């Protein structure tokens, strides 16, 4: 077994990393902790039970699939005990940054003496475009790897602290974090801001992602649902979500559309987008969690960029 271990953000990048032929074993972190309830105790029985219940209910993930894909890979991580160097491969977006926090929290408890380093894609050169790992050339990936950031003890403890806050029942504690620049996480501050905007807005009861969906439906003509989904994925800011998450969001918002072939908003959908009325009472669900907080127990004030507790 190599003394080097790579932990990647997903299967597609694991395949890419294998082609680079870098030294070390590779483990894939197969989770989407940005959605559904999370517990601070990453890897515990209650943690995985909570995650399976969410994925089974909302994404129809079967127990056999969850064991085969997620738990088996996690157990493989547990069995890699000898590595004294662990390299994390994650991206700038919310999806990746939340997973990264959880992995660092687990490593802090379970691999105390390993050197942990981070390869994180995002800004490349002078361009404002943000890049995922798979969008980079082999040469760029090798360069990022050569320049990887070795996390010090303060960095690891800070990541663990942010993870504890993410899993707490009060997102206002995350809102008060102001010291991201003191640690070696270039994209974490923006990811947390994006997370807070996932709480429903005071204006119309929809969050930033849901308002973006209505806005794109209102301002661009989409001839089919698949074209619409493609456009949403291309113009989602730094959420980092996939098809299945947008399909689920469209299902929540279905009453605000007259149809999806072509895509058309209903009159009510237009009124809600314009802030003439609120959709809060219709979309409210007492079992939807963002991290450790109930989504509909809080409102986001888009004028002050602050969270309010109901």
Average pLDDT rounded to a whole number, residues 70-99: 97
pLDDT mean over 255-282: 96
Examine the fold and report which residue of 196, 230, 245 is the final residue of a domain before the chain moves on: 196
What would the pLDDT profile of 206-254 be if each residue is shown by its tens digit? 999 999 999 999 999 999 999 999 999 999 999 999 999 999 999 999 9
3-state secondary structure of 88: strand
CATH number of the domain to which 191 belongs: 3.40.1360.10
Q: Are residues 110 and 181 in the same domain?
A: yes
Q: How many domains does the chain have?
A: 2
Same domain, 126 and 262: no
Q: Say if 71 falls within a structural domain.
A: yes
Question: Would you state the structure tokens that stand for residue 90, as one six-digit string?
Answer: 């994650």
Across 276-302, average pLDDT:
96
CATH of the domain at 229: 1.10.10
Residue 108 token pair: 């802090």
Residue 301 lies in a domain: no
The sign of the torsion formed by the CA atoms of 61, 65, 71, 77 equals negative
Q: Say which residues have a Cβ less than 8 Å from residue 189's Cβ, sequence separation at least 6.
A: 177, 180, 181
Instruction: Tell me what the pLDDT averaged over the chain comes to.
Output: 96
Concatenated DSSP letters of 238-300: T----HHHHHHHHHHHGGGEEEETTEEE-HHHHHHHTTSS--HHHH--TT-EEETEEGGGEEE
Lowest mean pLDDT among 29-43, 97-111, 120-134, 266-280: 120-134
201 is a domain residue: no
Q: Is the confidence at residue 301, as pLDDT, over 90?
A: yes
pLDDT in tens, 121-173: 999 888 889 999 999 999 999 999 999 999 999 999 999 999 999 999 999 99
The DSSP bridge partners found for residue 149 are 118
pLDDT band at 1 (very low <50, low <70, confident <90, very high): low
What does residue 79 show for φ and ψ, rounded to 5 degrees?
Answer: -80, -15
Q: Quick one: 65 and 165 in the same domain?
A: yes
Pairing mode of beta strands 4-8, 85-91: parallel
Q: Are residues 164 and 247 in the same domain?
A: no
Q: How far is CA 240 from CA 135, 262, 309, in A?
A: 13, 25, 27
pLDDT digits (tens, 9 = 90+) for 49-70: 999 999 999 999 999 999 999 9
36 and 65 both lie in a single domain: yes
Which residues constitute the domain of residue 119? 4-196
Q: What is the pLDDT of residues 180-193, one digit of tens each?
A: 999 999 999 999 99
Q: Which residue has the tokens 């399909």?
A: 247
- Facing residues of 89 across strands? 8, 119
Residue 125 shares a structural domain with residue 256:
no
Rounded (to 5) percent helix, strand, coil in the chain? 50, 15, 35
Q: How far is CA 60 from the centre of its chain?
A: 19
| pTM score | 0.96
Structural domain includes residue 307: no
Residues 21 and 85 reside in one and the same domain: yes
């Amino acid at each position: 077994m190599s003394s080097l271990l790579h932990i990647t953000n997903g299967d597609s990048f694991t395949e890419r990393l294998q082609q680079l032929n870098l030294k070390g074993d590779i483990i894939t972190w197969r989770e989407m902790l940005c959605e559904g309830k999370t517990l601070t105790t990453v890897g515990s029985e209650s943690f995985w039970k909570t995650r399976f219940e969410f994925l089974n209910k909302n994404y129809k993930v079967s127990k056999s699939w969850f064991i085969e894909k997620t738990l088996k890979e996690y157990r493989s991580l547990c069995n890699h005990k000898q590595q004294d160097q662990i390299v994390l491969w994650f991206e700038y977006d919310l999806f990746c940054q939340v997973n990264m926090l959880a992995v660092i929290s687990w490593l802090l408890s379970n691999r105390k003496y390993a050197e942990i380093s981070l390869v994180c894609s995002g800004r490349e050169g002078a361009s404002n475009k943000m890049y995922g790992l798979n969008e980079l050339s082999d040469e760029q990936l090798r360069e990022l790897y050569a320049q990887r950031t070795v996390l010090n003890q303060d960095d690891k403890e800070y990541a663990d602290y942010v993870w504890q806050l993410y899993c707490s029942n009060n997102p206002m504690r995350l809102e008060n974090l102001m010291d991201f620049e003191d640690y070696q996480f270039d994209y974490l501050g923006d990811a947390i801001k994006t997370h807070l905007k996932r709480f429903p807005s005071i204006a119309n009861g929809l969050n930033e992602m849901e308002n973006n969906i209505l806005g794109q439906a209102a301002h661009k003509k989409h001839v089919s649902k698949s074209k619409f989904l493609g456009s949403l994925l291309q113009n989602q800011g730094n959420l980092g979500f996939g098809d299945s998450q947008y399909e689920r969001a469209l299902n929540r918002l279905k009453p605000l559309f007259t149809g999806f072939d072509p895509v058309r908003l209903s009159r009510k959908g237009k009124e809600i987008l314009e802030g003439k009325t609120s959709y809060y009472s219709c979309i409210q669900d007492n079992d939807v969690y963002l991290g450790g907080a109930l989504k509909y127990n809080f409102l986001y004030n888009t004028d002050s960029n602050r969270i309010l507790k109901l």
